[in-house]
Chain A
Amino acid sequence: MNELLPRLPFADWIDSGVDWLVSTFGSVLDGIANVLGGVVEGAVTVLDMVPSILLAIIFALIAYFIATRKIALFTLIGLLFIDYLGYWYPMLQMLALVLTSVFLAVVIGIPIGIWGSQKASVRKVVNPLLDLMQTMPAFVYLIPAIFFFNIGVVPGVVASVIFAMPPTIRLTMLGIEQVPKDLIEATEAFGSTTSQRLMKIQIPLAKPTIMAGVNQSIMLALSMVVIASMVGAPGLGEEVYRSVTQLKTGVGVETGVSIVIVAIILDRITQQAGMRKQKIGGRM
């Protein structure tokens, strides 16, 4: 280190910034924490009211109608397998966390993506932010999240949302921009308004790409569950984390495989949802 230059107190600035945010918006943040915590816990409670076998069948039926019979069968067997390993409740906790995070990521991400696709100035701000969100080690989000929302499931959700949102935004922008130029010209030539162009042409045509983004967001949110458990988010991630700290290989593999099963089910179902309408409507 150069003795002449004092160390840049960047960390101190961030800390005082976080302190200021917590003291200024404390009540708002508490409100958010309560709502998010309530949503996730409520979801777990509702899911847990249904007998595990019935719920597995329901999921299998959803898979059957959206995807294929094969995936439905895998869903049924996979979920029952998790049940027999004794990880049903942690699995539900994880599912609630993941689905809540993805829901938020999609609800925030798609409008931002659409906005970005329309305005170059928005893209200029959003793109570097997305790079930052994706490359920043995910653990780093957890620290301020704890200050803002205390420990538990909520900082886990927030960190997952931040980490999982970029693909949805990026692929929404990409999908809309990829709509062929002559189709845009055609809608313009017939006198469409901007919202008609978006709603009737661009978004429907971008749907497969947007769904690929949502699919990626789900995968990223799943990859965050173990990290989220470090700040006290319950679920399968917590079981994995415990097995690591206690060096229990068997439990680690059991829980790891359970996460993989859930990941495959969610992945296949959302992938099929994106491709479904494409079979007929695809461009030559």
Chain B
Amino acid sequence: MNEQSIKKKIVVKDTTKIFGKNVKRAVQLLKEGKSKSDILKATGATVGVKNVTFDVNDGEIFVIMGLSGSGKSTLVRMLNRLIDPTVGQILLDGEDIVQMNKEQLREVRRKKIGMVFQNFALFPHKTIVENTEYGLEIQGVPKDQRRIKAVESLKLVGLAGYEDQYPNQLSGGMQQRVGLARALANDPDILLMDEAFSALDPLIRKDMQNELLQLHSDMGKTFIFITHDLDEALRIGDRIALMKDGEIVQIGTPEEILMSPSNEYVERFVEDVDLAKVLTAGHIMKKAEAIQVDRGPRVALRLMKQLGISSIYVVDKSNRLMGAVTAQDAVAASETDKSLEDVLISNLPMISPDTVLTELFDVVSTASIPVAVISEDQKLLGIIIRGALIGALSGDNQFINNDGIIAPADQLNTEEI
């Protein structure tokens, strides 16, 4: 994908929010480059969000993450103007929502942007289905029509059958599903999720994250997700903006944030991250040495000698993995004039490139030869060797491929199996 083909859904330009009195003076001081605490001292005004610029691509999950007080909730509320920015532009499909009047803004909120809240914010006096259809109700959609959409939406989040319950009869996880269904019922392009899963317990949170990813790939909407939890951000984010004191300190993919922190703050932030849960087989696999099956055992043996390895993968003509052969078996085969196919070990450990490292340990530790990484159509993509696994876990960049580009195989020679 080149830069041009990615459609920008939201563009935020130099946007600032200052709370308190004396806002004009504070803006002036901000322009002079004064810090947040200086401005607070001089004017009593609090800088909530400071000169933030970023854009969100159509259809991505954009995570804004930061600790409490970093301004992330303020920032997300400016995107649908629950909070008005003090200065700046927020373009939604090229239109500046900051300049919109009340009616235009209401239209945007009704049709384009949905929102999910940390504490669910369900209406306690309405049933689940009434909650879900609220957005349609205020648009004046006829009752039977909106009911159909609301029921569909509830089905989507796995809550069919709960229509006539009240919110307080549901568990936290279910309540947040209702919150999600309510936002989806309007069929908005953009979903703002303000710490949507933070109030849920860890197991349910993980389920919800998975379901969110599933929904995202099914619907192709743009999600903007606020969280204070780095693991959550790394898990679901296509890109992450890290905030501190009202500023964005780094924007990047999860790997970029982890592997090349832009400053000390980010570095400190990510140092405790369990790399094993973030990095995948694709990140650490090396180019595999393989031999086509029709070459015969003697060629295989020579290749193994050259490379100093004791086994080699065997593939067919279109690079599909058939199995592996050990040096011992190759010797035996060449002596008895058997073909490679006859001595093939076919029940090999195989994994897909997006398996995370935590799930790799078991396979790698019990395998007698390097674990093969294969694509969905059985093609051999690479192999996992123990040294690379350990090296990657220690955060050593030389063992980590950026975006699946496979590192040269020259280290392979010295690797013992």
Which residues from chain A sit less than 8 Å from chain B, CB to CB?
180, 182-183, 185-193, 196, 200-201, 204-205, 277, 280-284
Q: Does B82 contact A (CB under 8 A)?
A: yes
In the complex formed, the residue of A with least CB distance to B137 is: A200
Kindly list 17 other residue pairs between chains A and B, CB separation below 8 angstroms, not including A180-B121, A200-B138.
Answer: A182-B121, A183-B121, A183-B123, A185-B82, A185-B117, A187-B134, A189-B192, A191-B106, A191-B138, A191-B139, A201-B123, A205-B124, A205-B125, A280-B166, A281-B168, A282-B168, A283-B168
Are the C-beta atoms of B166 and A281 separated by less than 8 Å? yes
Instruction: Judge whether B138 and A186 touch: CB under 8 Å.
Output: no
- Bound together, the chains give a CA A280 to CA B117 distance in angstroms of 23
User: Are B138 and A192 in contact (CB-based, < 8 A)?
Assistant: yes
Given A190-B138, A191-B135, verify A185-B110 contact (CB < 8 Å): no
CB pair A189–B124 under 8 Å, yes or no, is no
**Closest residue to B107 on the A side, CB-wise?**
A191
Instruction: Contact check, A193 vs B166: say whether CB atoms are below 8 A apart.
Output: no
Out of A185, A191, A200, A282, name the residue touching B124 (CB < 8 Å).
Answer: A282
Which A residue's beta carbon lies closest to that of B130? A200
Chain B nearest CB, measured from A225 CB (Å) = 36
Known: A182-B119, A281-B166. A189 touches B109 (CB 8 A): yes
A142 CA / B182 CA spacing, docked (Å)? 55
Q: Is the CB of A277 within 8 A of B121?
A: no
**Residue pair A190, B124 in contact (C-beta under 8 Å):** no
Q: Quick check: is B115 within 8 A (CB to CB) of the other chain? A: yes
Contact, CB under 8 Å: A281 / B125? yes
CB contacts (< 8 Å) of A280 on chain B: these are 166
Interface flags for B130-144 (1: CB within 8 Å of A; 0: not) read 000011011100000
Question: Is B137 touching A281 in the complex (CB atoms < 8 A)?
Answer: no
Contacts of A283 in B (CB 8 A): 124, 168
B121–A185 contact, CB under 8 A?
yes
A190 and B134 in contact, given A183-B121, A205-B124 (Cβ under 8 angstroms): yes
Q: Is the CB of A204 within 8 A of B125?
A: yes
Nearest Cβ in chain B — how far from A182, in angstroms?
4
Residues of B close to A192: CB separation below 8 A: 106, 138
Contacts of A281 in B (CB 8 A): 124-126, 166, 168
Chain B interface, DSSP helix/strand/loop, else mixed: mixed
CB distance from A122 to the nearest CB of B (A): 20
Complex A-B: 25 CB contacts under 8 Å? A182-B119, A182-B121, A183-B121, A185-B117, A185-B121, A186-B115, A186-B117, A186-B121, A189-B113, A190-B134, A190-B138, A190-B186, A191-B105, A191-B108, A191-B139, A192-B106, A192-B138, A193-B138, A200-B134, A200-B137, A204-B125, A205-B123, A281-B125, A282-B124, A283-B168
Pick the residue among B77, B106, B119, B124 that contacts A193 (CB under 8 A).
Answer: B106
Q: How far apart sit A114 and B188, CA to CA, in the bound complex (Å)? A: 32
- Is B176 part of the contact surface with A, judged by Cβ < 8 Å? no
Chain A, residue nearest B102 (CB):
A193
Please, which residues of chain B bring their CB within 8 A of the CB of A182? 117-119, 121
A residues less than 8 Å from B186 (CB atoms): 190
Q: Is the CB of B74 closer than 8 A to any CB of chain A?
A: no
Contacts of A186 in B (CB 8 A): 115, 117, 121, 123
Whether A190 and B121, one on each chain, are in contact in the complex, defined by CB atoms closer than 8 angstroms, is no
A188 and B82 CA atoms in complex are apart in Å by 7
CB distance A189 to B80 under 8 Å? Answer: yes
Closest to B170 in A: A284
Residues of the A chain whose Cβ atoms lie less than 8 Å from the Cβ of B135: 190-191
User: In whole angstroms, what is the CA distance A91 to B11 when docked?
Assistant: 71
Q: Which residues of A contact B77 (CB under 8 A)?
A: 185
For residue A201, give the distance in angstroms from its CB to the closest CB of chain B: 6
- CB-CB nearest in chain A for B165: A280
**When the two chains form their complex, are residues A191 and B168 in contact, meaning their CB atoms are under 8 A apart?**
no
User: Beta-carbon contacts of B176-187 to A below 8 Å, as 1s and 0s?
Assistant: 000000100010
Chain A residues with Cβ under 8 A from B139's Cβ?
A: 191
Partner of B138, one of A196, A204, A205, A284: A196
Q: In whole angstroms, how far apart are the Cα atoms of A190 and B132 in the complex?
A: 11
**Max chain A C-beta neighbours (<10 A), residue from B77, B113, B121:** B121
Contact present for B82 and A189 (CB under 8 Å): yes
Chain B residues, Cβ within 8 Å of A196: 138
State how many angstroms separate the Cβ of B113 from the closest Cβ of chain A: 8
Instruction: A277 to B124: give the CA distance in the assembly, Å.
Output: 11
Cα A200 to Cα B140 in complex, Å, equals 13
Residue of B nearest to A190 (CB): B135
By beta carbon, the residue of chain A nearest B126 is: A281
Closest 9 CB pairs of A and B: A191-B109, A191-B110, A281-B125, A186-B121, A189-B115, A182-B121, A283-B124, A190-B135, A191-B106
CB pair B110–A190 under 8 Å, yes or no, is: yes
A43 to B139, CA, bound (A): 43
Q: Which residues of A contact B106 (CB under 8 A)?
A: 191-193
For A205, the closest partner residue in chain B by CB is: B125
Q: Which residues of A contact B138 (CB under 8 A)?
A: 187, 190-193, 196, 200
Separation of A187 and B138 alpha carbons in the complex (Å): 9
Which B residues are CB-close (under 8 A) to A187?
134, 138
Residues 81-112 of B, flagged 1 when their CB comes within 8 A of A and 0 if not, give 01000000000000000000000011111100
How far apart are B76's CB and chain A's nearest CB, in angstroms? 10
For B135, the closest partner residue in chain A by CB is A190
Binary contact readout B143-160 vs A (1 if CB under 8 angstroms, 0 otherwise): 000000000000000000
A180 and B119 CA atoms in complex are apart in Å by 11
Closest to A185 in B: B82
Q: Within 8 Å CB of A188, what residues of B?
A: 82, 109
Alpha-carbon distance A222/B403, docked complex (angstroms): 79
Closest to B124 in A: A283
In the complex, what distance in Å separates the CA atom of A281 from the CA atom of B130? Answer: 12
CA distance A34 to B124 in the complex (A): 46
Q: Kindly state the separation between the CA atoms of A189 and B186 in the bound complex, as whole angstroms.
A: 12
Contacts of A205 in B (CB 8 A): 123-125
